[in-house]
Amino acid sequence: MSKVTIDFSGAFTQIAGATGLLLKEVKAIETKAWRAHETIASLPQMSQDGFFGLPKRNDLFESCKKLTRKLKGAYENVVVLGIGGSALGFKAVADALLGKDHNLNPKGKPKYFVLDYLEPESIAKIFEFAPPKKSVYVAISKSGKTQETAAHLAYLGSKLEREIGKQGLKERLVIITELEAENPFQQMAEKMRLRCLEIPQLVGGRYSVLSPVGIFPLSLLGVDAYSLLRGANKFNKLTQSYELEANPALYYALLHYIYAQKGHNVTVFFLYDRNMEALGDWLVQLWAESLGKRFNRRGDLVEVGLAPICAIGPRDQHSILQLLIEGPFDKVITMIWPTKFKQDPRIVLPMWQKKGFKYLSKKSFGQIMASEAQGTYQALTKSGKPVIKVNLDCIDAEGIGYMLQFFMCATAYLAELWDINAFDQPGVQLGKEISRRLLGG
């Protein structure tokens, strides 16, 4: 497994200067942190049946593995029909491990596509990229009522049936949903005798990447899903520690809690690898839906939350960085970057370019990226902006699994410190209900 290092020092006065935290500020509410830790441990979502227990759900893993074996060699494309938590986690891992340019590589097979949009022209072209006889289609909705996914499924399902018949439809379409009697996707799967995989009842969409929602389509792509789960389980063991700094998820949550009290209501995920951009999108959803709440568990009006922003380095050094360095003191920044790459070409300068750029000679692109990331880190902390570093010595399935679980646990801890529910999203429902009424539903 790649080694994942989480460095909190850039959030303290020793590096961030007078605007950083003092250790005594952390110590002052350590008792509150441990109460949150104990409460979280008793929640159903942190049990074997919730997201925390997914790394040990061999039954779910085996069901994915078994179906993957049945489909082996029968497809060149994997098309995921899903939106939000039903797609973001899968895409985050697929892009990180296979690369955003995977589909452009002639040897990059199977290719993968995610239908998490409604643009008519793009939907109409999907069969050009993923023809029925060469593709597997995976429709994902926990509730079975997701309007966008239902529309995708109706359009693709009817075209599939016309082109390859009902038997072909059964061979090419897989449903992933909660197994519940009133679930429309579950009812449809039973009626059509489609292959169906389970989303556990206690696992919400944005916490479902390590369930069949992510594991099955990733397995279709040849990703080592077992290593992904093993990495998450390694992180789980750290949460058993009763030393604050030995439990990085709790420490991360606590620092954000303290900074929020000081008016830092924005969190920035600055990822130094374009292949991790989808991971940033997943983090934005995880943070926004879990932590943006009007009421606490007792029904008191609290209106808490941290506005999440995803930035990609070095690209966004030339856009958002100016604001981060010289703008208001209202942000906590998490920088994530790998320190090793599978391929890392070196630069050989032509004679006509040596003037002014000699310092780049024989440097690798990885070296340049690392120097820019480190330069950004130092510029931010010298400006008094709090920065937490997450480094992977290389990107592999175990390391990604470890990091996914770290962020999910940290989110749950921060919600507990605020006494809010990290696992619901009541605000999202209103827009869905209005949209459905406008369509006559």
Q: Which residues are catalytic?
A: 289, 318, 432
Residues 6 or more apart in contact with residue 191 via CB below 8 angstroms: none
For the stretch 292-301, contacts whose Cβ atoms lie closer than 8 Å and that sit 24 or more positions apart, written own/partner, are: 292/427, 293/415, 293/418, 293/420, 293/421, 293/427, 294/427, 295/420, 296/418, 296/419, 296/420, 297/419, 297/420, 297/421, 298/419
| Alpha-carbon distances, residue 163 vs 124, 160, 181 (angstroms) | 15, 5, 30
Q: How many C-beta atoms lie closer than 10 Å to residue 308's C-beta?
A: 21
Q: How many C-beta atoms lie closer than 10 Å to residue 99's C-beta?
A: 17
Closest CA to 294 of 163, 180, 429: 429
* Residue 350 amino acid letter: P
**HSE-CB of 299 using CA atoms within 13 angstroms:** 0
Whether 380 and 325 have beta carbons less than 8 Å apart is answered as yes
- Give the separation between CA 347 and CA 359, rounded to whole angstroms: 10
- Cα-Cα-Cα-Cα dihedral of 153, 158, 160, 165, to 10°? 130
- Give the separation between CA 354 and CA 359, rounded to whole angstroms: 9
Residues 6 or more apart in contact with residue 24 via CB below 8 angstroms: none
Token pair of 54 as six digits:
């997914």
Identify the residue whose tokens are 């994915």. Answer: 64
Token pair of 322 as six digits:
């100016």
- Give the separation between CA 10 and CA 373, rounded to whole angstroms: 14
Whether 311 and 344 have beta carbons less than 8 Å apart is answered as no
| Alpha-carbon distances, residue 342 vs 13, 94, 218 (angstroms) | 36, 16, 20
Token pair of 338 as six digits:
């790998």
